[in-house]
Amino acid sequence: MKEFECKRNNSILRGYIDVPNKKLITDIIILLHGFGADYGRTAGSLMADCAKDLGRAGYCSIRFDFYGCGKSDGAFKQMTLSSQLSDVVAVVQMTRSLYPMAKITLLGFSEGGLIASLAAPMLKVDKLILLAPAISILAEINRGRLLGTAFDTDCLPDTLYVNRIDRIIGKAFIQECINCDIRQISKYLGPVLYCQSLHDEYVPQEVEKSYQKFYSGRMDVVRVNTSNHIFTGHERKTMLGKVIDFISRK
């Protein structure tokens, strides 16, 4: 595991490259963390377990903090959908310069799953993995709520404190979510794996149907009986096994 810095405009993104003990890197999985979180510094977190299991299976993974998160530059209230997409573009470009022959998979969790599905058609990655993708955040914001915090859509606040994640959100993020054209998601033509807990408390089960429409028969689905949104429980291991099977499939 080695630390890296990736320049994006006038800011620096920071993260880790988890390289397995083998000479030839054929596949790289780029992990996109959830809303206001980090790339998985805590042992036992979903992102940390993803990287660990991928490494054990012989796969290289790259995980980083989005702008305004973790140890990357910036303030969270300046984060937008556009800034997160720019982060992914910068990291994918860096990855392709370091490993030009490797296939790239985007793996996004929660709001990182929304970003992964928006970025995939732009970057033409080889595979896409969505873990409880929070596309539902767009509809929620259009109704004037964000993780339980209400606001007026007719008079958007300059900043919004979201108690559930103890973070301040900027007006630009809310505005971009309201204006986001999710139809672009369907432009990704590669294979997709969709995973979600049957007891997800944040992302409604109906989100799966939306993605089925976007990907029109090209999406494999894994439903697991874990206890919550972050796949806590013994079936997390089973789910990650399905992720590895999907990556290894030719």
Residue 158 placed within a domain: no
Alpha-carbon gap, residue 191 to 92, rounded angstroms: 18
Helix or strand holding residue 239 (H, E): helix 235-248
In DSSP terms, 161 is beta-bridged to: 168
For residue 244, what are the contacts with CB-CB under 8 A and spacing of at least 6? 53, 54, 57, 59
CA atoms within 13 Å, Cβ hemisphere of 64: 29
β-pairing, 219-224 vs 145-146, is unpaired
Residue 172 placed within a domain: no
Query: What is the domain range of residue 222?
Result: 2-135+190-248
pLDDT per residue over 16-71, tens digit each? 999 987 768 999 999 999 999 999 999 999 999 999 999 999 999 999 999 999 99
Number of domains in the chain: 1
SS3 219: strand
Q: Whole-prediction pTM value?
A: 0.97
- Find the DSSP H helices in 111-234: 111-123, 136-142, 171-179, 207-215
Q: In tens digits, what is the pLDDT along the chain, a chain of 250 residues?
A: 789 999 998 999 999 999 987 768 999 999 999 999 999 999 999 999 999 999 999 999 999 999 999 999 999 999 999 999 999 999 999 999 999 999 999 999 999 999 999 999 999 999 999 999 999 999 999 999 999 999 999 999 999 999 999 999 999 999 999 999 999 999 999 999 999 999 999 999 999 999 999 999 899 999 999 999 999 999 999 999 999 999 999 8
Residue 68 belongs to a domain with what CATH number? 3.40.50.1820
Alpha-carbon gap, residue 167 to 74, rounded angstroms: 14
Residue 241 placed within a domain: yes
